[in-house]
Amino acid sequence: MKILCAIKRVVDYNVRVRVKSDGSGVETDGVKMSINPFDEIGLEEALRIKERGEAEEVIVCSIGGNEVQQQLRTGLAMGADRGIHVETGETTQPLTVARTLLKLVEKEEPGLVFLGKQAIDDDSNQTGQMLAALWDRPQATSASKVELADGKATVVCEIDAGLETLQVDLPAVITTDLRLNEPRFVKLPDIMKAKRKPLETIAFDELGVEKGVDLGLGAHEPPPKRGGGKMVGSVAELIDELKNKGLL
């Protein structure tokens, strides 16, 4: 069985995000970029499944310019067998990404597709669900535990009310949550080995993907600075302050 893992290049979660001076977007020049943490968890789970002998190959894929090859090489260093780079200079939104991944699914015919439940740059939480719908296959979202047996996946999903256990037939799409696992640390020898692993580049236009309607972004602005706190002497004073601020 093949497992396809989609990853996205995002600003590292340890970096303080800064808005460009003209409000056109987020500053990325000279900023550390990494694999989206939720996607990294999905890749880690795929590697563990392979190490248990339940899959034969793990393929990591990403969409973007040449810069995403850095994250693909990181995925290969973690243990993925090969990578696929869909090259485009344009920003792609969830529906277009899902349609692109569908083309890769049709090409590779994986038994399982892992994605993070959301990307930390836009927090859309849409791509996995869209891919499952386009592929017409089952989905399990926000997974915190995954077990495979007899051509099925038993997945513990995190929902608003607690936990929900689903059993889905394979092939299927699974999106991963933070509590599923802790990704492995990449060692220098693995980074060197990754340079020799195959990394295929496919032009976006060659896939014949129908582009979705993009959402328009007007402008970006940082959140307002927090004001100083104020100590109050009683509950009545606290209520008065809240009323003065229009919060009650």
CATH code for position 192: 3.40.50.620
Q: Give the tens place of pLDDT for each residue, 182-232.
A: 999 999 999 999 999 999 999 999 999 987 777 777 778 888 887 778 888
Distance of alpha carbon 69 from alpha carbon 7, whole angstroms: 11
Reference 207, options 93, 119, 85; nearest CA is 85
Residues in Cβ contact with 219 at an 8 Å cutoff, skipping those fewer than 6 apart? 23, 24
pLDDT score for 167: 96
Residues in Cβ contact with 247 at an 8 Å cutoff, skipping those fewer than 6 apart? none
Distance of alpha carbon 83 from alpha carbon 90, whole angstroms: 20
Give pTM, 2 decimals: 0.86
Number of domains in the chain: 1
pLDDT score for 85: 97
Distance of alpha carbon 91 from alpha carbon 100, whole angstroms: 13
Domain that holds residue 80: 2-244
pLDDT score for 211: 79
pLDDT score for 182: 95
Angle at CA of residue 77, ends 41 and 158, nearest 5°: 5
Antiparallel, parallel or unpaired: β 9-11 and 33-35: antiparallel
The helix (H) or strand (E) run that includes residue 127 is helix 127-135
Stretches where the chain sits below pLDDT 70 are none
